[in-house]
Amino acid sequence: AERPLRSTRAFFEACRVEYGLDLDAFETQWVSEARPPITLRAGFSYSRKRFVAEVAVVQSEGAGGAAAACGPSLDGITVGWGEVDAADGAVCRKRKFALREPAQLLEIEVESRRRRGRRRKRKERRPAAASA
């Protein structure tokens, strides 16, 4: 026979009994001691001279410092770039960065077509100069 759930605690207990789910950590973190969610702000710039994308990432106050000991924080972020696949919207290149500080600058070396072309031209020129 079904019985109505009269409290959040009863819901978590029913999950434990019926499905074997231990949701104590979830209940503590997100219900009884609800903390504000982590927010992430990011901005980027691209250096054409160095072929580097610089991504500045800032986590909310709740994610770093003394609050990190008692609350969740982001352990990393995946940055993707390149051509977007029309089928699933995924990008062709990805890299995961560890976030160790509340504010961090990430540098991504970008292999552009123009840079690849320059490398090929330089490689082609060198053997010709060496044989002359």
Predicted local confidence at residue 128, as pLDDT? 53
- The residue type found at 107 is E
Nearest to 103 by CA among 68, 61, 72, 49: 61
Give pLDDT < 50 ranges for the chain. Answer: 63-72, 132
Torsion sign (Cα): 15, 10, 36, 62:
negative
Instruction: Report yes or no: 62 and 71 within 8 Å, Cβ to Cβ.
Output: yes
DSSP 79-120: EEEEEEPTTT--EEEEEEEE--SSEEEEEEE---HHHHHHHH
Predicted local confidence at residue 79, as pLDDT? 84
> How far apart, in Å, are the Cα atoms of 31 and each of 22, 26, 114?
14, 8, 52
Predicted local confidence at residue 83, as pLDDT? 79
Predicted local confidence at residue 124, as pLDDT? 59
Cα(81)–Cα(26) distance, rounded to whole angstroms?
Answer: 33
